[in-house]
Copies of this chain bind each other. A is one copy, B any other.
Amino acid sequence: MKKTVLLVLISVISTRAQTVTEQVRQYRKAHETALMDEYRQFLSIPNVSSDSVNIRKNATFIMQMMKQRGIQPILLDGAKPGTTPAVFGEMKVPGAQKTVIFYAHYDGQPVNPKQWADGLQPFTPVFVTAPVEQGGKIVTTYKSGDAIDPNWRLTGRGSADDKAGVMTILNAYDALVKSKITPTVNLKFFFEGEEEVGSTHLGEIFEKHRDKLASDLWIIADGPRHVSGKRIVQFGVRGDVNMHLTVYGPKRPLHSGNYGNWAPNPAWRLVKLLASMKDDDDKVLIKGFYDDVAPLSASEKQALAKVPNMEAALKQELGIAKPDGNGTPFVELLMRPTLNINGFQSANVGAMAGNVIPAKAEAVLDLRLVRGNDVTRQIGRVRDHIQGQGYQIIDHDPTDAERQQYPKLIKITQGHGYNAQRTPLDLPVAQSVIKAVQSTTAEPIVISPSSGGSLPLYLFESVLKANVVSVPVVNYDNNQHAENENVKVQYLWEGMEIMAAIMLMK
């Protein structure tokens, strides 16, 4: 008896899941123009986190999207006025036992329009036939209503990271409603506006609205699918923090001939300082940098072993003859802390370069953290190292007195960072998500113990005591955080199917 019921249930689930994916696909095919017109409009609103006026226009746009889909949106603010609010909404399902909150963020990384390819602009989305770096051309003939090739990319800041999350979640829900399919779980929607600046007020928002945000599971729709193109479910993220370094030379730029060999050059100073932090194999030399790393569990090791090895293809595509890491597999390297130079600058290069001793030299470091690392402790180690190189650390531009007192001065400012997070692979709710995502495709999905990327997921655990699982939807080659960001159209369509499957999870 029991056995029969179970078989019937499995059969129902299987049929229904298959049906759902197909029905969502059918709905999408019938509405591609409208879906894409709305998404292009969404991408046209500048969304750099620090641009507080435009960032609120994005929130307003999302609220309109929700209203049009029958969801009553509200803004969740932090403790103080001025916080960029999260957009929230919920739909209760009669009889549902579990509640799942779907997360995406609508803010984006800073843009330097000059670095974008000819014809591409961060906030004027256009279709390209392929990534421009691979010879893709702008589809100049496209107008609303034309057929959209699913292999095209739609360009623009946020097209992949992470307005795609908002788009696929809300449209998955809409597809279910319009197809008269009832979700199996209560649904909540949470769209953040400060993710790219370190989710500065997310903890405050969680604490202030703890009751509204009660759930059994958060689904994080952010980051890229696996490099192989396979669908992926991720059970953790690295932590992250930025450090901004400024080393000082003479108070004004000097003629490199008239002062050369005498006036200290801050570019040389910064070069020597940074070089002291790594060996020639890219291993960090800062004392204790790797000390806190917690070892992988047995199930994490198993999962890593099953992740498809894409290194040969990546090396080819990215033009890399020899990766860092001395032969350690890619997936293992992502389980270690990093010390990355995001960028550096001193005076000018190229046509604007002059023969000067610059007045200052700057670098931005990005530190990724893994389980066991503590953000404050890790920053402290870098600061200790810099002090050990003879630098006086200050948090402001130096005064004349400081300049006279200290031969080596450095300004260090830090972003709002956070620790890593991992959800155990064997939780029942984790297994439910794996099954739901697997139901959308015949191809085996990838199960990853942790993304290489970062989100402040530790907050979900520490403040809300919640379970968190990431289900990325976009292509890996999306130029996330950089120029020419893009999303592959087909991945948006499949993202809707994936999110819908999770809304039907058991």
Give residues in A with beta carbon < 8 Å to B. Answer: 50, 109-112, 131, 133, 223-224, 238, 240, 242, 244, 248-265, 267-268, 271-272, 274-276, 278, 280, 282, 315-325, 330, 333-334, 336, 338, 340-358, 361-364, 366, 368, 398, 400, 403-407, 451-454, 476-477, 479-484
B345, A263: Cβ atoms under 8 Å?
Answer: no
A255 contacts across to B, CB distance below 8 A: 224, 452-453, 480-482
In the bound assembly, the distance between CA atoms of A407 and B404 in angstroms comes to 43
Contact of A349 among B340, B343, B483 (CB under 8 A): B343
Assuming A110-B352, A345-B345, is B251 touching A319 (CB within 8 A)? yes
Assuming A274-B271, A482-B253, is B223 touching A341 (CB within 8 A)? no
A334: nearest residue on chain B (CB-CB)?
Answer: B261
Copies in the complex: 2
A261 contacts across to B, CB distance below 8 A: 282, 324-325, 333-334, 336, 338
A271, B275: Cβ atoms under 8 Å?
Answer: yes
A257, B453: Cβ atoms under 8 Å?
Answer: yes
A319 contacts across to B, CB distance below 8 A: 248, 250-251, 398, 400, 403-404
A407 contacts across to B, CB distance below 8 A: 321-322
Assuming A452-B259, A452-B260, A482-B354, is B345 touching A344 (CB within 8 A)? yes
Assuming A111-B352, A334-B262, is B256 touching A318 (CB within 8 A)? no
A453 contacts across to B, CB distance below 8 A: 255, 257-258
A477 contacts across to B, CB distance below 8 A: 252
B282, A268: Cβ atoms under 8 Å?
Answer: yes
In the bound assembly, the distance between CA atoms of A319 and B247 in angstroms comes to 13
B342, A354: Cβ atoms under 8 Å?
Answer: yes
CB distance from A398 to the nearest CB of B (A): 7
CB distance from A461 to the nearest CB of B (A): 19
In the bound assembly, the distance between CA atoms of A407 and B358 in angstroms comes to 31
In the bound assembly, the distance between CA atoms of A276 and B271 in angstroms comes to 10
A347: nearest residue on chain B (CB-CB)?
Answer: B343
In the bound assembly, the distance between CA atoms of A45 and B348 in angstroms comes to 23
Contact of A262 among B110, B251, B325, B357 (CB under 8 A): B325
Chain B CB count within 10 A is highest, among A110, A351, A355, A356, for: A355
B267, A344: Cβ atoms under 8 Å?
Answer: yes
Contact of A250 among B250, B318, B345 (CB under 8 A): B318
In the bound assembly, the distance between CA atoms of A244 and B352 in angstroms comes to 12
CB distance from A161 to the nearest CB of B (A): 8
